[in-house]
Structures are given as C-alpha cells and as structure tokens.
C-alpha cells in the first residue's frame, strides 16, 4: 500500500457492469425531450427507485408527469422492458479480487433498488466485496453524505483513506467535502492507470 489509502469503493452500473449509456438518449428520442432535460428530471426523481423502491410504472409516471409527457408512459415502459441485460465486466471483478489480495478493503456502494440488490446477490457479486451496500437497503443514495458515511464506517476507514470509482459526475460531486478521492470511470485501462498513481497492487 502507499499514500495512506486503505479502501477502494466501486459503483455498480457502468463500472462493474459494462456501460449502457444510450438508454436515456434513446428514451429522450421516444418522448421528444432533450437529453439534458431528461437527465435533470431523472436525477431529481431516481430516489424513488433507488431508495423508496417504488415500482417502475409509478416511477416513470411521475417522471413523465414532471416533463409533461404522461401520454408516453406505455412507450417508455416498453423501451425499458426491451433493454438488454447488463453484462458483468469480468476484468473489473478480477481487479477487485487483486486489490483484496493486495491488502485493500473493497466495497460496493450502488444506487439500486432492493430488487436489483437481490439479483446482484444471486449472481454472487457480493462475495467479491468486504462491504456490499445498496441505496434501497440503507435509505440513502449517492451523492448523499450519509451514504458515504455509512460506507466508510462499514469499511472501517476514514473518508480520506478511500478512493471511490463511479461513472457519473453527480455521484462524485461531494468528494471534496466528504474527503474521499474520486475517480471518474471512463474505461478499464484508464482506471488501472489512475489507480496506479494512488496505490500499488499485484
């Protein structure tokens, strides 16, 4: 280890899984709303799924109501139901296992529903981590400070001793205030390069 880093945290969707960045863009096309407006509305309401665990129909009905596009509900639900399943990035799981063997604590902190959490555990993903936290189960989601407080406490480290990796900037926006080192995930080679500038691992 080097630099006082003791733990590395990971997001799930787009980091552990291969990214599906076109979902919102395609949805915006279906409902006729600019991507920027859709993103703003999505992040305003996604707590409904990630923390409150409401069903998809209720979530999309509320989201589309915000956008004045209630008539597009069935089209959006069909779009969501026909999306391909996210695939696990096996290179990432191998990296996580290597980090653990090198003496670092590793954890997952994901903005996901309790239903998604059950799927992840069925796949055995929790076995790769020392701490496995899902927003729908803890009642807080990123970038809430409380979510990261619970996460670092479970890992047994101070925020300053942790790197956290996410593919969305909004999830990392409180990093400076909380104290952890943020890494914005772009691709796997870039991640390994960035990690290597902070820590040493086999």
Structure tokens at 171: 């999830």
**From 17-26, 145-154, 167-176, the region with the lowest mean pLDDT:** 17-26
Check pLDDT > 50 for residue 63. yes
Find out whether 15 and 166 touch, Cβ atoms under 8 Å.
Answer: yes
Check pLDDT > 90 for residue 21. no
d(CA 104, CA 133): 17
Q: Which residues sit opposite 88 in a β-bridge? A: 17
More confident residue, 25 or 3: 25
What DSSP state is assigned to residue 87? P
The pLDDT of residue 202 is 80
> The whole model's pTM is what?
0.85
């Amino acid at each position: 280890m080097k630099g006082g880093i003791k733990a590395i945290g990971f997001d799930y969707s787009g980091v552990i899984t291969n990214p599906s960045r076109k979902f919102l863009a395609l949805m915006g096309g279906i409902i006729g709303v600019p991507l920027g407006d859709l993103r703003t509305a999505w992040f305003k309401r996604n707590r409904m799924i990630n923390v409150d665990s409401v069903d998809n129909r209720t979530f999309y009905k509320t989201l589309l109501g915000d956008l004045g596009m209630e008539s597009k509900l069935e089209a959006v639900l069909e779009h969501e139901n026909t999306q391909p399943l996210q695939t696990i990035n096996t290179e990432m799981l191998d990296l996580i296992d290597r980090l653990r063997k090198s003496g670092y604590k590793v954890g997952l902190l994901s903005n996901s529903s309790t239903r998604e959490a059950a799927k992840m555990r069925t796949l055995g993903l929790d076995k790769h981590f020392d701490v496995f936290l899902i927003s729908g189960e803890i009642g807080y989601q990123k970038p809430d400070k409380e979510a990261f407080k619970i996460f670092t406490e479970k890992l047994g480290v101070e925020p300053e001793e942790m790197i956290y990796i996410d593919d969305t900037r909004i999830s990392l926006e409180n990093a400076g205030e909380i104290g952890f080192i943020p890494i914005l995930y772009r691709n796997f080679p870039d991640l390994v390069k960035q990690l290597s500038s902070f820590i040493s691992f086999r």
